[in-house]
Structure 1
């Protein structure tokens, strides 16, 4: 608990973040391991306080801002530990950081600060006797807080606050109908995606959207429909409304599936591993050997390795049940080496601060992706796709891959990665097709050199797009979904 009060230089919206800062404990600072990169704590979004401790002679307070062009600018505030040059206290460091943040030169280039932390509820305080859409969403999210995973509940809150609350929360639920869905569809189409704490972007014209933009907007719209239908059904089941129309008018629209192609070759994996810090490198290797999510790897304990079989026991995660992931020999050896000298309840993977991995991998992984020259959009979850795509290309049955990934069946694997089996499918067809015409078989033998040259000419293509068919030709433009006709017209179906 901080006893000393801060001056007006420290804004009130930052006090909660300051209060939980571990740098206020001098013992914590002394126990930090030496490293070139500073340790950071978010005071506000785009405003950070750090400790830079590269060796035993240097330990400085550091402040950092995120600029409008998404670059970082830092300033040394003074020594955090007395190594012969004096020291400044945590309070003095906080005051110094915010004084620097408020300098005219810094305010001009810095990104706008906002409070740190995640949304914990929908942005509405429903009042009045009329049961509105806002009332229904509030009641529903109070229930999902208990019934859904933290991640699933949070995603619901973000979508509701961004798309539904501003224009639809005031509508009496009994009066909600397909006309409101059309308005929502137009809004979703015209609203650019918003990731994390990035600022809202201006609306776009529907005519300026590509087919891929429209496909992504359709998925967002369907996610909103799922939330609203569940919320409205929850209200009806609870006796808040008498009509079933609000939830019966909600029908999802069909979306053409686009297979994932953003995963790595083995050479790209090696490039990524070369630039990762040691703890992150181990985590990345764990993902590439198992296809596990970062949350599953972060929760993995020594007792889960090589006990029930030649692989790992993975606890239930999100809505997926517990499963066993089998490993190749080099993967098993990798995990056994990580477990040496540890007790059964120790975590297999630990971060730089010797803590279980949670979300702290994100900035480290993003930096490694940039340094390795990989696509900017590649995220840690792409390692899971890399694992699956490699197995598909090697001819492993989709049912086996589905069990390794924890899917209930092979449908999701087939939809997501099935196109990558084209090399394997091609090989099987060329080798296993039984002769049908002796005349054509002889002719093929005489043209073997030409046929091989033709086959070789295609092998220079990117394997991720080998034998691909343009998405515009995969399905007819006319949707077979049951969406309301007016909603379908908005999405150009």
Structure 2
């Protein structure tokens, strides 16, 4: 039996409990390329391990071993002490073929996630990895894939939908969450989020099944996502609301809000735009990196051209069109606080950045633009997505026929209140 490697921070329970809770584990070396780690969460501590074949230059393979004996005595299986965690980690190292770095023996969900990320072809790899490391791996990584049952996966999905929404959290701090009232919309939103996480887990396990690493897919195939959880959000701004929001937005962030309203582009697409992507002659903006992975052009009208001319004048071709005040790129979630503050100042209901994109699509639909053109303008891969969100706003034969055929009953008296149209701002 291998000797127990000592580490003053991790060996004793009382020492581990003094460590700061953070997203990354505290690591100690057992051998070259072999490490035992302790993840100090806000509520529970866990033993993890990572392995990299010496000299291979590849990424580490990581797995969750078991829960640490921080608040309960070790049972040798689910809860392990420091010595038991080292033995379990070495057992996992031995299950890796040292000559090729391939796994043998028990194949865990964590292994499946590693294989999935290694071959990931989508554009949203950063978000996918973040969700895997923050949610999927800590909660499901220790399960052996062959031993998964439908009940295990289903219970995990229910737990996701019952947990409060996670909020942006400073590095090393305890996870922030959003506590909301238990309303129908709140439950729908959490179920929708749980469905997206389930999709990632299923994708990783399906890859393992297709590769022949596991022999059956019944356990997760039988778990269905929550029904009717992804109803389209119909929130869009009127022209007056869009002007109020723009005027109330901090000047540093205002140009990117204006660009969203005038182009329908996503936040990430606008944040990475460079001066070279704006073509004054053709009055277009070229989105090189999109959610669908297919570059596309955005067609500008006069106000949009003016905005981009102001944002690009005097800049180098590789400079950002909409930089932060410090010159760096706006990062994920940086839009949340400026928009929230602007909504309060403008006395508007909470409005997300994606609602600005919906506003662009809604303005086209309300002006009678064909669905096919709206789909092209927004970069939708399938017109069904466009119809789902904007068909009810478009002029249609059905709507015109109903309004013509049903002339009313004469049961509502006409109002003498004059409706004032908002004045257009110069």
Q: TM-score, normalised by structure 1?
A: 0.55
Paired residue for 1:130? 106
Structure 1 pair 297/13, CA: closer, same or farther in 2 (3 Å)? same
Say whether residues 1:312 and 2:288 are aligned partners: no
Gap change, CA 1:337 and 1:383, over 3 Å in 2: same
Give 1:209 deviation, angstroms. 5.5
Distance change in 2, residues 1:366/1:268 (3 Å):
same
Query: Against the structure 1 CA distance between its residues 200 and 361, is the aligned structure 2 distance closer, same or farther, given a 3 Å change threshold?
Result: closer
- 3-state secondary structure, aligned to 1:381: helix
Q: Is the 8 A contact 1:287 1:294 kept in 2?
A: yes
Q: Is the 8 A contact 1:236 1:244 kept in 2?
A: yes
Matched, 1:419 2:403: no
The Cα offsets for residues 437-481 of structure 1, whole Å up to 9 and x where unpaired, read as: xxx9xxx6xx89x59967x89x99xxxxxxxxxxxxxxxxxxxxx
Is the CA contact (8 Å cut-off) linking 2:110 and 2:142 kept in structure 1? yes
Q: Which runs of 5+ in 2 are unaligned?
A: 1-17, 22-42, 44-59, 67-88, 93-104, 170-174, 420-426
- 1:281 pairs with one of 243, 247, 254: 254
Alpha-carbon distance in structure 1 between the residues aligned to 2:121 and 2:287? 24
2: CA distance between counterparts of 1:348 and 1:170? 45
CA distance in 1 between counterparts of 2:150 and 2:283 reads 54
Deviation at 1:322, TM superposition (A): 0.7
Q: Deviations over 1:47-68 (max 9, x none)?
A: xxxxxxxxxxxxxxxxxxxxxx
Q: Following the alignment from structure 2 to structure 1, what is the Cα–Cα distance between the partners of residues 384 and 320?
A: 33
> What secondary structure is seen at the aligned counterpart in 1 of 2:64?
coil
CA distance 1:151–1:132, change in 2 (3 Å) = closer
CA drift of 1:306 comes to 2.7
Partner in structure 2 of residue 171 of structure 1: 143
How many residue pairs get matched?
326
Q: How far did 1:387 drift? A: 1.3
Instruction: Show structure 1 runs of 5+ residues with no match.
Output: 1-10, 15-111, 113-119, 461-493
Q: Identify the residue that residue 385 of structure 1 maps to in structure 2.
A: 358
2:343 paired residue number: 369
Structure 1 window deviating more from structure 2 (143-152 vs 299-308): it is 143-152
Whole-angstrom CA distance in 1 between matches of 2:208 and 2:342: 47
Provide the alpha-carbon RMSD of the alignment.
4.2
- Distance between the aligned counterparts of 2:191 and 2:133, measured in 1? 19
Cα gap change, 1:418 to 1:146, in 2 (>3 Å): closer
Q: SS at the partner of 1:124?
A: strand
Is 1:193 matched up with 2:133? no
Alpha-carbon separation, structure 1, partners of 2:221 and 2:371: 36
TM-score, structure 2 as length reference: 0.63
Matched, 1:153 2:129: yes
